[in-house]
């Protein structure tokens, strides 16, 4: 998934206009066809931002429209001292109803009231309830948040929608249902973090729906009803508006853009753990994790991360996000030696850190559980014969190689349970040279697929009696520890004292 911060300036509207490709997108007649329209929204206002104009057109054409808002919206202002979560829950429900009334008469609103930010945790329940709604409505089109939007709740709801639509299509093929719906996904946060050249923009799957003036005006009125998101709750800290004006400007266009989705046959899973790295907080807080070079090796099936890397060339924004570039610089700048000798990197992902390590190392062995990531990393370091990239699940032990002067464990440890991580540290110490260095860097917040916290990971490393502290860096978001069998400082190592 893409990583971003909603407090940052949004991408430029002019960049999209000047590029010209949005204006040239094709339409898809199914979006404006007959039959019921079902719109799934992770948070009240997503449906208005992403599909308000299309909803208005559908109502005017006489189609029945049902909007399902899944979360209760109570987490949009977690630091507010003037407004309680319960008050926000009621306010956002009222705003949703008022917004839909602006889009047209007779729109059905269903509120599932799932805790804001917790769609993954409630995934099975959401799936069951939405399956019942789809069976009852027989929609011709389902609209859902785009799975690549960069927000955990959006991604989870998009995944559930894709599963249910695939099942409905399979039922149709088996003759068990009258028809299967078409699925289209609407981007919301893409317009914040993206630009026309961003590698994660799904250009080949984008379609366009032209809006006439009446539909545009209805969508604008509907959006204005979401006052709790557009305007500050008060002048107090923590009550700031959630949606920046430069972000909202992207939704004043004369067309709406959707991602065409081709359903796959369901694989039999009823919606289990995510195939992504953790995705962030409640309300419209974006995907809070800014993972680095790892996030993949661990006690999770490689196929989960294969899917992540297959969908996006840089799933964690390692090459694009300032947070990632800065964290990488801090991590690599914390290494006590200029020349690194033999390096083992556990969890290399697409090989961005691998390439930087290669500039300072005599040899590098980079490991990742995802074959798709390994192939991308190999391409990145092609032409460097002293670098090898291999697929490996480190919970089954490290490859028979070494010894290593440096072992890097970055954004990996929390995917292992404590016992597995202790065994990994045993293996690391086994392959470490007598003066070897272990470097760990981890995100400090939680996620739905973590087996322990980043702080727990570093506490386990620090407890190792044979590894002495060389450097420690901690911030609110991540922590870096450098431990070595040689406890000398950098000044001592380089002869300054």
Q: What is the DSSP string of 371-431?
A: HHHHHHHHHHTTT-TTEEEEE--GGG---S---EEEEEEES-GGGS-HHHHHHHHHHHHHH
pLDDT of the residue at 173: 54
Q: How far apart are CA 278 and CA 299, in angstroms?
A: 15
pLDDT > 60? residue 475: yes
Give every CB contact of residue 100 below 8 A, 6+ residues apart in sequence. 55, 67, 107, 109, 222
Burial of 72 (C-beta count, 10 Å sphere; 0-12/13-18/19+): buried
Q: How far apart are CA 404 and CA 431, in angstroms?
A: 6
Backbone angles phi, psi at 463, to 5 degrees: -70, -15
Backbone angles phi, psi at 489, to 5 degrees: -75, 170
pLDDT of the residue at 260: 94
pLDDT > 80? residue 96: yes
pLDDT > 90? residue 332: yes
Quick one: pLDDT band at residue 393, thresholds 50, 70, 90? Answer: confident
Contact 259/206 with Cβ under 8 angstroms? yes
DSSP 188: S
CA atoms within 13 A on the CB side of 250: 26
pLDDT > 90? residue 280: no
pLDDT > 70? residue 311: no
Taking alpha carbons only, the member of 418, 420, 398 closest to residue 408 is: 398
* Strands 432-443 and 361-368, sheet pairing: unpaired
Which is more confidently placed, 48 or 304? 48
Give every CB contact of residue 366 below 8 A, 6+ residues apart in sequence. 345, 348, 351, 354, 357, 377, 381, 387, 388, 389, 390
Contact 480/330 with Cβ under 8 angstroms? yes
Backbone angles phi, psi at 112, to 5 degrees: -85, -20
Strands across the sheet containing 141-145: 108-114, 65-71, 37-41, 141-145, 182-186, 255-261, 206-210
Q: How far apart are CA 276 and CA 370, in angstroms?
A: 12
Size (the chain), residues: 497
Q: 3-state DSSP call for residue 66?
A: strand
pLDDT of the residue at 344: 95
C-alpha distances out from residue 240 to 81, 82, 207, 227, Å? 11, 11, 34, 12
Q: How far apart are CA 93 and CA 96, in angstroms?
A: 5
- What residues pair up with 110 in beta bridges, in sequence order? 68
Quick one: pLDDT band at residue 313, thresholds 50, 70, 90? Answer: low
Contact 33/140 with Cβ under 8 angstroms? yes
pTM: 0.59
Q: How far apart are CA 82 and CA 238, in angstroms?
A: 9
pLDDT > 70? residue 275: no
Cβ–Cβ contacts within 10 Å for residue 264, how many?
12
CA atoms within 13 A on the CB side of 21: 13
pLDDT > 90? residue 208: yes
Query: Any idea what the Cα angle at residue 395 is, between residues 390 and 400, rounded to 5°?
Result: 50
Percent of the chain scored above 70 by pLDDT?
86
- What residues pair up with 66 in beta bridges, in sequence order? 38, 108
Backbone angles phi, psi at 265, to 5 degrees: -65, 140
Q: Which whole number is the average pLDDT over 372-398?
A: 89
- What residues pair up with 109 in beta bridges, in sequence order? 67
- pLDDT mean across residues, the chain: 85
Q: How far apart are CA 34 and CA 157, in angstroms?
A: 24
pLDDT of the residue at 316: 62
Contact 265/170 with Cβ under 8 angstroms? yes
Quick one: pLDDT band at residue 322, thresholds 50, 70, 90? Answer: confident
Tokens of residue 277, six digits: 């790295």
């Amino acid at each position: 998934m893409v990583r971003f911060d909603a407090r940052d300036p949004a991408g430029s509207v002019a960049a999209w206009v000047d590029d010209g490709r949005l204006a040239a997108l094709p339409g898809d007649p199914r979006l404006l066809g007959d039959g019921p329209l079902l719109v799934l929204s992770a948070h009240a206002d997503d449906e208005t931002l992403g599909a308000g104009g299309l909803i208005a057109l559908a109502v005017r054409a006489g189609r029945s429209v049902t909007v399902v808002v899944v979360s209760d919206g109570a987490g949009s202002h977690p630091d507010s001292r003037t407004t309680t979560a319960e008050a926000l829950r009621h306010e956002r429900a009222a705003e949703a109803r008022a917004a839909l009334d602006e889009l047209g008469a007779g729109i059905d609103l269903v509120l599932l009231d799932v805790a804001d930010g917790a769609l993954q945790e409630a995934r099975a329940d959401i799936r069951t309830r939405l399956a019942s709604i789809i069976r009852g409505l027989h929609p011709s089109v389902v609209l859902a948040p785009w799975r690549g939007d960069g927000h955990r709740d959006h991604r989870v709801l998009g995944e559930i929608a894709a599963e249910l639509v695939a099942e409905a299509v399979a039922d149709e093929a088996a003759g068990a249902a009258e028809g299967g719906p078409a699925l289209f996904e609407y981007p919301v946060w893409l317009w914040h973090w993206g630009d026309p050249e961003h590698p994660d923009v799904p250009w080949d799957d984008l379609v366009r729906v032209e809006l006439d003036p009446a539909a545009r005006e209805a969508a604008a009125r509907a959006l204005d009803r979401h006052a709790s998101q557009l305007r500050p709750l008060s002048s107090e800290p923590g009550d700031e508006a959630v949606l920046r004006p430069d972000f909202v400007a992207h939704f004043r266009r004369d067309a709406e853009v959707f991602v065409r989705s081709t359903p796959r046959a369901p694989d039999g899973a009823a919606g289990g753990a995510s195939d992504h790295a953790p995705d962030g907080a409640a309300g419209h807080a974006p995907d809070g994790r800014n993972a680095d070079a790892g996030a993949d090796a661990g006690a999770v099936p490689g196929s989960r991360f294969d899917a992540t890397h297959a969908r996006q060339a840089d799933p964690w924004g390692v090459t694009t996000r300032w947070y990632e570039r800065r964290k990488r610089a801090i991590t690599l700048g914390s290494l006590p030696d200029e020349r690194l000798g033999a390096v083992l990197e556990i969890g290399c992902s697409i090989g961005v850190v691998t390439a930087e390590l290669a500039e300072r190392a005599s040899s590098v062995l980079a490991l990742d559980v995802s074959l798709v990531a390994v192939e991308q990393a190999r391409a990145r370091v092609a032409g460097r014969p002293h670098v090898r990239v291999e697929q490996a699940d480190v919970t089954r032990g490290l490859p028979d190689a070494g010894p290593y002067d440096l072992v890097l464990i970055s954004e990996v440890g929390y995917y292992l349970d404590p016992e597995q991580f202790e065994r990994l540290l045993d293996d690391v110490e086994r392959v470490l040279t007598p003066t070897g260095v272990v470097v760990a860097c981890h995100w400090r917040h939680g996620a739905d697929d973590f087996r322990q916290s980043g702080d727990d990971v570093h506490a386990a490393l620090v407890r190792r009696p044979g590894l002495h502290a060389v450097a420690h860096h901690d911030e609110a978001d991540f922590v870096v520890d450098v431990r070595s069998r040689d406890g000398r400082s950098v000044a001592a190592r380089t002869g300054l004292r």
